[in-house]
């Protein structure tokens, strides 16, 4: 496995997060837990004054590395995208090839990548066939030590908020994992929605093991016995 591939793997997420584990365990409660995307409709958006969504993809809108939306996501996601003035941006822990694929799958939505280079956070934006970094720039920055930021990361979420261009109070992160999507949102100070992953069986065994560990950590997190913030 190359150094870049290692950074983009589930193990890379775990390694990046190990030193912050106590903080992350306190940051796993979503604002809302929904059984399906169908519950996230125009009335929900209006009632909670949502102005922008940050979307996870694999396990949230698609099966693992699939090119098509989950059947149950097609209608609700399309309806959300038709709401005037509501912004959408994609934030995924997927590897480079998948990120480029996502840009092609959702050509009207920006896919945001973040990198840490010597303590400086760098932002990269893919929109359809357009990439804010050339292939040469990407290669040069990686060679110079730039490391892809992975959820959970407050800095990464803030890059997505900046892309939306709205007040953070109106932004909601939507994802299927407490440890990455929800913790990242909480670290950045925004609201979040935890969706059930309807395609868990399509994920590789290594990722399913990590998701099982996440579920155990969620049950053992500080304050778990006092109830979840997802009931708010």
Looking at residue 17, what is its pLDDT?
A: 61
Query: Where do we find the tokens 């609700």?
Result: 76
Decide: 30 and 184 in contact? Cβ < 8 Å.
Answer: no
Tally of residues, the chain: 232
Looking at residue 16, what is its pLDDT?
A: 63
Prior bond to 210 cis, omega within 30?
no
Decide: 177 and 56 in contact? Cβ < 8 Å.
Answer: yes
Backbone torsions φ then ψ of 92, nearest 5 degrees: -130, 150
| 210 CB-near residues (< 8 Å, 6+ apart) | 10, 13, 14
* Beta-carbon count within 10 A of 20 CB: 14
pLDDT tens digits along 167-212: 999 999 999 999 899 999 999 999 999 999 999 999 999 899 988 9
Q: How confident is the model at residue 218 (pLDDT cuts 50, 70, 90)?
A: confident
pLDDT tens digits along 41-50: 999 999 999 9
pLDDT tens digits along 70-129: 999 999 999 999 999 999 999 999 999 999 999 999 999 999 999 999 999 999 999 999
pTM above 0.75, yes or no: yes
Q: How confident is the model at residue 9 (pLDDT cuts 50, 70, 90)?
A: low
3-state SS assignment for residue 102: helix
Decide: 173 and 193 in contact? Cβ < 8 Å.
Answer: yes
Distance, in Å, from the CA atom of 65 to the CA atom of 173, rounded to the nearest integer, reads 20
pLDDT tens digits along 122-149: 999 999 999 999 999 999 999 999 999 9
Is the pLDDT confidence value at 59 over 50? yes
Looking at residue 31, what is its pLDDT?
A: 97
Task: Provide the 8-state DSSP code for 58.
Answer: B
Could you give all domains of the chain from N- to C-terminal order, each with its CATH number?
3-220 (3.40.50.1000)
Is the pLDDT confidence value at 3 over 50? no
Distance, in Å, from the CA atom of 66 to the CA atom of 70, rounded to the nearest integer, reads 9
Query: Where do we find the tokens 């822990």?
Result: 93
Q: And the tokens for 3? A: 């150094």
Q: How confident is the model at residue 230 (pLDDT cuts 50, 70, 90)?
A: very low
């Amino acid at each position: 496995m190359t150094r870049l591939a290692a950074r983009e793997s589930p193990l890379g997420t775990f390694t990046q997060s190990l030193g912050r584990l106590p903080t992350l365990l306190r940051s796993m409660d979503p604002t809302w837990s929904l059984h399906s995307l169908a519950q996230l409709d125009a009335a929900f958006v209006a009632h909670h004054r949502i102005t922008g969504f940050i979307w996870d993809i694999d396990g949230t809108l698609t099966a693992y590395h699939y090119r098509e939306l989950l059947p149950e996501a097609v209608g609700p996601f399309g309806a959300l995208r038709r709401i005037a003035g509501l912004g959408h941006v994609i934030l995924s822990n997927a590897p480079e090839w998948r990120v480029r694929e996502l840009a092609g799958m959702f050509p009207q939505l920006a896919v945001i990548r973040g990198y840490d280079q010597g303590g400086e956070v760098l932002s990269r934006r893919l929109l359809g066939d357009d990439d804010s970094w050339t292939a040469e720039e990407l290669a040069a920055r990686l060679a110079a030590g730039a490391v892809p930021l992975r959820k959970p990361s407050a800095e990464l979420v803030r890059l997505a908020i900046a892309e939306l261009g709205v007040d953070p109070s109106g932004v909601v992160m939507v994802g299927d994992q407490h440890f990455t999507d929800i913790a990242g949102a909480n670290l950045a100070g925004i609201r979040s929605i935890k969706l059930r992953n309807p395609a868990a069986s399509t994920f590789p065994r290594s990722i399913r093991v990590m998701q099982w560990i996440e579920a155990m950590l969620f049950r053992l997190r500080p304050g778990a016995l006092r109830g979840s913030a997802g009931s708010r």
